[in-house]
Chains A and B, each alone.
Chain A
Amino acid sequence: MDNVIPLNDDLDPSIGAALGRAYRTEVDVELAAQHLWTIECAARRRADQGRRQRGRLRQTAVAAISGVMMLSSSGAAVAASNQSIPGDVLYSVKRSAERAQLLLSSSAASDARLHLSFAQRRVHEATRLASTRPDEAVRLLDEAVAQFQTAEQVGGHEFAPVVAAVRVEVVERLPVIAEASGVDMTAAVEQLTAQPTPADVVAASPSPSATASPPLLVAAPTDADTSTTDTTDTASETASPTDVTTSETPAATATPTATPTASPTTEPSTAPSRGSTTRVDAPSAPGSAAEFDDVERPERRPDPEPEPEAAPEPAPEPTPEPSEAPSAPQRGVGPAHRWQGDGTAPDEAPSA
């Protein structure tokens, strides 16, 4: 190496030339555009994840659920799912609809009502599953208890009587479930009875939404958040107390909620007693497409995800692609530009 003049750092120029030639490559414009686009999309995904972690669950979750709704024909599927139980194909739609309702709920009172109605649903499901899948039934009851507690917390003092009324209902059903499943329901009974007793309920001053009669009246709205619903709801509100007392049956057979379905528009499904289950839900319940429309129109919301999903595919032509991508490609990408690639900046220095 004595005759070799080092370029820098004792590099042999002839070897440098040989290796440079042997391995010299250039990234063509198309490849660069593709890679830069991938980088951009990766950055967007990270930004989305960050937002989610910072608690902006509402936006993305609603969007995702809206997507589910769209795919599952929206209101019809939701309505059809109302009678489903774990194991049914539509059960996931049912639960998704519940989550959607919670997200769309705009007040603590409607939240509380929703949680209460979900608790009831869990109890119904547990009843239906008690004999065939007792473990599942117990799990559902646990969920119901949790929902009750949430309803109480969220609903506050005013809502306590309503919750208590429903609680009594549920407790009455527990022996049925226990018998059918062979599972000891003592714990569940204790948990559910550890709250205001029926005596308190009776003593409580009856507001329109909390009649003294045990059967549930969650359907009756007191808040304005359901003001968008039509007058049929108010009609049923006044109708329900009387109807309830007449159609109330012992817990053994009928569902605890016997509110008739006043508005025909909200009843897409089967037997009246079953149908009343949906009516029991808050007026903003997804019992039907019509009601869903009243609350909001999540199914109208466009799917926000198309762009990032389409990102990994490279654009066929390099020219339109860089214009969509961020400014990075414009720094050097374009038919007129060639990379220097050997460590020096391209002709137009990066403007970053």
Chain B
Amino acid sequence: MELFADEVAEGVKAGDPDAVGAVYVVLANRLLGYLAARVRDRATAEDLLEATFVELLEKGHTIRGGAAAIKVWLFRAAHFNALDHLRRDRRHGEDLRDDLSLLTVADEALGPEDLAIADDESRRVRAAMQHLSDDQRQVLLLRYVAGLSAPEVAAILGKSDGAVRSLQHRGERALGRLLVAETEANPGEPASLPGTRASTDYRVG
């Protein structure tokens, strides 16, 4: 499945702002989600999103390949922009801040109660994610939120495919464990992950 046409890819490599805009339309949501997950602050994520696309305009001529290569390039740029920001912004109340609660988009199908529950769930998931190691969290975000394949993630992080898969599985298990523990600590709450199987599935490894 091609994200966008070859002509758009060529336009991006030629520095055409319209082509970059076309890519923006397709990928902005995913990139913003990824950036927000990394920097945990919506305003910063928006700024980084803008900066990343301006970078694409300016450096797109260095990209070899088509739409897929551009997508990887964008997420790599976003990854490093987020990293730079986090390094500068070290220990800025990371654990306390969860501005991302504004981030979640309401699922229209849910009623107000369910919405509140969903918000709550999301907050817990995000909190649990913070307990993962940096590498694990980055891999999970790139695979799940950014939607990149394992080889693409490997390319961005500069790791081998095997290392990425390993980090991914460990991260998934750790996340599962944390959320189960959360659920068990709060017995009155509904199932930890909406739409999932029984939580026992996560007692793996």
Contacts and interface: CB of A to CB of B under 8 A. Distances in A.
Given A11-B143, A25-B36, A39-B17, A18 B25 contact: no
A35 to B, nearest CB: 5
Contact of B129 (A22, A43, A331): A22
A282 B37 CA distance: 67
Contacts of B140: 15, 19
Interface in B162-195: 165, 168-169, 172, 175-176, 179, 193-195
Interface string B14-25: 011111111011
Contacts of B122: 21-22
A25 B15 contact: no
Contacts of B49: 27, 35
Contact of A1 (B8, B28, B204): B204
A164 interface: no
Given A19-B145, A32-B24, A10 B165 contact: yes
A23 B145 contact: yes
A206 interface: no
A350 B22 CA distance: 6
Q: Interface on chain B toward A: helix, strand, loop, or mixed SS?
A: helix
B28 to A, nearest CB: 4
A34 B3 CA distance: 23
B5 to A, nearest CB: 6
B17 A24 contact: no
B20 to A, nearest CB: 5
* Interface bracket on A: 35 or more
A9 B149 contact: yes
A350 B15 contact: no
Contact of A342 (B19, B118, B147): B147
B104 A22 contact: yes
A4 B201 contact: yes
Given A341-B29, A352-B18, A18 B125 contact: yes
Interface string A236-259: 000000000000000000000000
A326 B17 contact: yes
Nearest to B7: A352
A35 B27 CA distance: 13
Interface in A301-352: 326-329, 331-333, 339-346, 350, 352
A341 B26 CA distance: 6
A315 to B, nearest CB: 15
B62 interface: no
Contacts of B82: none
Given A27-B29, A352-B11, A22 B125 contact: yes
13 contacts: A1-B172, A1-B204, A17-B196, A21-B194, A25-B36, A25-B105, A27-B28, A32-B28, A326-B17, A331-B25, A339-B28, A344-B26, A352-B19
